[in-house]
Structure 1
Amino acid sequence: MTDLRLRPQGVLLDVDGTLVDTAPDLVQALNLALSDFGLPEVSLAQMRHVASHGSLALVEAGAPTQPQAMKYELQQALLRHYARINGQHCVLFAGMAELLKELEQSGIPVGVVTNKAARFCRPLMGSLGIESALVSIVCGDSTLMAKPNAAPMLLAAQQLGVAPEDIWYLGDAERDMQAAVNAGMVPVLALWGYLGEQDDIDSWPVEYRLNSPLELVQLIRNRG
């Protein structure tokens, strides 16, 4: 009997840093917020590794010496700007369009599980033209608890109609790998994502590491 874990029966993807290169939009929104308050802007290269970790993490990295009250104001400004520019400069990561096509042709359902709020995630999926390819779109406010809690992962599994143990979850952050483990899924690290020098990936609960989405395309073809 074939070991189903050798070939996913369903695939779930993180959004920021795994499916989509959203850092350009997120950092632009941060810089617009910093400019609103007369604070110095930051570079994309400086902030790229933070882009997977949400708006507050971006503010903490971009204005670390500001008092908490100011950081809150900056976060709210960042979110306002991001709502306006969301999707303007971001693209699917190289090889991701091919992966989505391969999954569709192979009859493997695919979805996303992200901590990004639905008001940002769903319009982004639409602007990228991939919403119809996704069987499940579970956002940060789709369940009471976000990743690394298992709740959003299990909701997505239910929507895919696939047992959690037969689903591969691709992400680029430690909480993604932990969320996969918590839900009983196969944790797959996307090495093309927003990993920084501070990330000790060898200590994360990772079953597979991929350098490119095309590696998963090839694996599916080889094990089909």
Structure 2
Amino acid sequence: MSGVLFDLDGTLVDTAPDLVAALNLSLHEHGFAKVSLAQMRHVASHGSMALVRAGAPGITDAEALMLQQALLRHYHQVNGNHATLFDGVAALLDGLAAKGIPWGIVTNKAARYARPLINKLGLTSARTVSRANKGNYFCQSLISGDSVTRGKPDAAPLLLAASQIGCMPSRIFYLGDARRDMESARAAGMVSVLASWGYLDGDEVTNWPVDLRLERADELLSHLA
């Protein structure tokens, strides 16, 4: 294997705290009750409208659109303030750097949110992750939802990322936490890796096209050996 690609929300980065903070700001602004992070975490990778519907069930379509627009406005302000790399991700990225393996991100998130987020997390410039391992790492490809005309589960965004990191699709691991991630990896001819630490919430995955399932991100290093 010569390359690794990641989904963003729920796989590489825990963005649920930012998303729920933005949701609560929008709910409060329009007179709705706030929700807890625990209630909303499982919805975090399903988009802004799914968050709105879960946070304020039973509202009208007009109210949902109003809350969605408010959520996106507030998210632009809080994006990256509370988000963190999932446990094991820094160790994995450090290990990839030590092995000279390129990596990138393929997300359906719009670039206006994805790029500031990874910039704030320091993933777009080389940096040292741990004192024990002095390897530097940085993202070599970011394909967002508006980078291509067809997003996941289509193969197009993954194939574009493969060309940018200079790896054959069949030699790339793609890590994600949703059915569309696994389907996109399979369509692109990549090895699909299910991130069990993501926003699965007990989703039935037995029929998903999963090649490998990991409990922690750094477990992937043993499969790269």
Question: TM-score, normalization: structure 1?
Answer: 0.93
After superposition, residues 70-149 of structure 1 pair within 5 angstroms as 70-132=63-125, 133-149=138-154
Q: Secondary structure at the match of 1:201?
A: coil
1:166 aligned partner, one-letter code: R
Structure 2 distance, partners of 1:63, 1:131, is 36
Structure 2 distance, partners of 1:30, 1:186, is 34
Check the 8 A contact 1:98/1:217 in 2, yes or no. no
Query: In the alignment, is residue 201 of structure 1 matched against residue 175 of structure 2?
Result: no
After superposition, residues 185-196 of structure 1 pair within 5 angstroms as 185-196=190-201
After superposition, residues 134-173 of structure 1 pair within 5 angstroms as 134-173=139-178
Q: Secondary structure at the match of 2:8?
A: coil
1:139-179 Cα shifts (integer Å, max 9, x gaps): 01100111111111111011011111111100001111011
**Between Structure 1 and Structure 2, which shows a larger proportion of helix residues?**
1
Residue 218 of structure 1: how far off its partner (Å): 3.0
The residue number in structure 2 matching 1:3 is none
Query: In the alignment, is residue 31 of structure 1 matched against residue 31 of structure 2?
Result: no
Question: TM-score, normalization: structure 2?
Answer: 0.93
Residue 47 of structure 1: how far off its partner (Å): 0.5
Query: In the alignment, is residue 183 of structure 1 matched against residue 188 of structure 2?
Result: yes
The residue number in structure 1 matching 2:52 is 59
Query: In the alignment, is residue 219 of structure 1 matched against residue 212 of structure 2?
Result: no
Structure 2 distance, partners of 1:28, 1:211, is 27
RMSD: 0.9
2:157 aligned partner, one-letter code: P
Q: Secondary structure at the match of 1:148?
A: coil
Extract unaligned runs of 5+ from structure 2. 126-137
Q: Secondary structure at the match of 2:200?
A: coil
1:94 aligned partner, one-letter code: D
- Tell which deviates more after alignment, 11-20 or 210-219: 210-219
